Amino acid sequence: MPVLLKLLLSAGLIYFVNEVVIRHSRPLLGSLLASLPLVSLITFVWIYYGLQADPAARVQKLASHSEGVFWFVLPSLPMFLVFPWLIRRGMPFWGTMAVCVFVTMILYYLMTLVLKRFGMSL
């Protein structure tokens, strides 16, 4: 699949969610759309069409990607509670973003340690 088409479809999805939230004042609908695993589903399609020649490699990459996304979604979830808590308490936007990124990075690191203990690695 051409790179430009991939870029346009992927960026279009992000733009669409943004328009729903800002222009149409539908933050809950925008949140619902953003929470769908659309990026992962699009990535599945790109992997599927990118590895047509080798079905075994395609299956392995798709399965591995899906499992990895599952385990790394878990440590990213607290960010969606920390962000509103900090921003409502008057922390500046960029400071809130920095704290959320830092907390998420720590949680990602801890998840890699947990996964390593069970024989999984990046």
Token readout for 42 is 């699009």
Domain positions in the chain are 77-122
36 DSSP 8-state letter = S
State the average pLDDT for the chain. Answer: 86
Residue 119, sorted as left (phi over 0), alpha (psi -120 to 50) or beta, turns out to be left
83's tokens: 């962000």
Cα separation, 61 vs 68, whole angstroms: 10
What is the value of pTM for the model shown? 0.72
Residue range 26-64, pLDDT digits in tens: 777 777 777 778 778 888 888 888 776 778 888 888 888
Using 50, 70 and 90 to split pLDDT, how confident is the model at 92? very high
Specify the amino acid at residue 65. H
**In whole angstroms, what is the distance from residue 78 CA to residue 96 CA?**
13
pLDDT in tens, 63-91: 888 888 899 899 999 999 999 999 999 99
Which two structure tokens, joined as six digits, stand for 102?
């830092």
CA distance 65 to 44: 8
